[in-house]
Structure 1
């Protein structure tokens, strides 16, 4: 969910063969793995007195894409809150739930709302806009969730696109395996985006509220070039350069394409939270995931990058 120079980085909408809704099993596995941590965080950390005045528990899923994973994520949160009320003998006082599904305005919200669970135990609303900006009234939300979204930058670093800059990323579409100047530009953009993200969430979340993120990243100390997600972008860039060398696309077009993705380490996340000063990290765990099968992997890559490739090079090279 990023926008640079008017271009939004969005997943494939609809329900076609390469839609995000049909190619996000890998992300769903992470949400399944997260459930235990959500239950524990709400059981231990959530003070239900913060919602007693309104009797409405408000949840936002930032970067919800086109579904269906967002439904699983918010249901896990709702289940955990209801269990907490039951364990405290207050089932009759359990609040109503209002869910806000957020993504960029260019996101295809239609399949999301068409596929809403028919027997859901919550009220649903869509909130279009970048989570790098304010989205909600002050002290409004009780729980903020985001899965596989915070790694998307608000824009490609300006230095990377400037031919006169030492950080110009010629011949590559990402910072993976690039020069130190390119990596530093991406790192600085990530730090700036996280500063904005946390600043706005601090205004929107009630005192005592919670946030939970699933962030694809890299272990502390691991070089960027050795991270699987980065290798994937590097591979895609290499394929595009091969096509340029064969005259199927222009090399200048490849030079001008950069993906606004940054895969942070736990230490970088901790630093961003500490510098913001409005939140504390109650738990953090690295959850290893098995690499997907080749066919599933390529379909997943296409569902996430097809819109960008199509806008930049045209539709004829997609297959």
Structure 2
């Protein structure tokens, strides 16, 4: 199957990503301390480009930046932490000024106009947009000092081909995700996740300088699940969305075949699976990997806010497959199911682990 290309909802309206990404912002706030520590403890001031003699220019890439404002918060925090690190250790002569080049990356269909319209006027970095998939090369050889990517790597580059093949044992009929599906479906998703993460690491290995850093935030699943029926798989959200689509097919709004051919390219790998892939990669060392505590930073949303969080990230994907005419009714039906199952909004009950991972490029 072809690689997917879709973006979060653009603009600045009530259904834009810019106004409906509070969860993602909370996740960054939860990892801010870890990024500050990572820079303080691991940033190597002797890093240089192979293609430039400038030792006072730091290049940073935010992969999967969307439209803001979260990426601006992240880039401000990272650049300030680096500046503090240089000041603390007196790493620059008095007459030199540390400069930053920030590359904002997302899919070609991302709303870069909104992103650049809202660039902070008092930013301390030069900004550049880099459209394209981060599964492959985006930057020149050894040109990046610091890479950041948050809540992006659980998105797959494509839907595993076997799960939409009627002749395959992994055919995912009647579902749009691997939750509660036959094991062959989960295995197909897991294999695609492994391929995608390996491609991501291999591409960055060519772009990041020796001793350069990558700070990644990866949504994952716990390795051990409590057997007390109190925990809720985050995939249940996709079950509610999928059942809404099936209900619409049953009343003739679309065909069941159309629903059967739609699967979400999302996989929450068990933590041990993420760790294994990272440790098998020969280019980066794992300096830190620990779960974030989101509860301190994120308040339980109301139903409208919760549905909007999912709509802004899935609407483009849904439109590409079903067309735009079904979107309002789909999310009205989805909203009603969330009302009937409010525990799905309870962060304390969800079986999800937000992993903070710090990688260092080996010399």
How far residue 94 of structure 1 moved from its aligned partner, in angstroms, is 4.7
Confirm whether residue 201 of structure 1 aligns to residue 204 of structure 2. yes
Q: Take 1:232 and 1:218, find their aligned partners in 2: how far apart are those partners?
A: 14
Confirm whether residue 42 of structure 1 aligns to residue 39 of structure 2. yes
SS at match of 2:128: strand
The change in CA–CA distance for 1:222 and 1:136 in structure 2 (over 3 A counts) is farther
Partner of 1:295: 304
Deviates more, 1:61-70 or 1:87-96: 87-96
Q: Take 1:141 and 1:118, find their aligned partners in 2: how far apart are those partners?
A: 24
TM-align CA RMSD: 1.8
Q: Take 1:5 and 1:202, find their aligned partners in 2: how far apart are those partners?
A: 24
Deviates more, 1:256-265 or 1:7-16: 7-16
Partner of 1:308: 317
- Judge conservation of contact 2:30–2:293 (CA < 8 Å) in 1: no
Write out per-residue CA displacement over residues 171-223 of structure 1, whole angstroms, 9 at most, x where no aligned residue: 11111111101000000000011111101111100000000111122112349
- Judge conservation of contact 1:82–1:94 (CA < 8 Å) in 2: no
Q: Which runs of 5+ in 1 are unaligned?
A: none
How far residue 51 of structure 1 moved from its aligned partner, in angstroms, is 4.0
Partner of 2:126: 123
What is the TM-score of this pair, normalised by structure 2? 0.83
Partner of 2:239: 234
Partner of 2:146: 143
Confirm whether residue 105 of structure 1 aligns to residue 91 of structure 2. no
Q: Take 2:3 and 2:155, find their aligned partners in 1: how far apart are those partners?
A: 15
The change in CA–CA distance for 1:273 and 1:252 in structure 2 (over 3 A counts) is same
The change in CA–CA distance for 1:45 and 1:270 in structure 2 (over 3 A counts) is same
- Judge conservation of contact 1:26–1:292 (CA < 8 Å) in 2: no
Query: Whose helix fraction is larger, Structure 1's or Structure 2's?
Result: 1
Write out per-residue CA displacement over residues 139-179 of structure 1, whole angstroms, 9 at most, x where no aligned residue: 11000000111111110001011111111111111111111
- Judge conservation of contact 2:30–2:294 (CA < 8 Å) in 1: no
Q: Take 1:312 and 1:196, find their aligned partners in 2: how far apart are those partners?
A: 26
SS at match of 2:209: strand
What is the TM-score of this pair, normalised by structure 1? 0.94
How far residue 265 of structure 1 moved from its aligned partner, in angstroms, is 2.5
Q: Take 2:246 and 2:130, find their aligned partners in 1: how far apart are those partners?
A: 38
Partner of 1:249: 254
Q: Take 1:218 and 1:99, find their aligned partners in 2: how far apart are those partners?
A: 31
Partner of 2:163: 160
Which of structure 1's runs of 4+ aligned residues deviate more than 6 A? Answer: none
Q: Take 1:176 and 1:18, find their aligned partners in 2: how far apart are those partners?
A: 27
Deviates more, 1:40-49 or 1:288-297: 288-297
Q: Take 2:134 and 2:254, find their aligned partners in 1: how far apart are those partners?
A: 34
How far residue 96 of structure 1 moved from its aligned partner, in angstroms, is 0.4
How far residue 289 of structure 1 moved from its aligned partner, in angstroms, is 2.8
Q: How many residues align?
A: 315
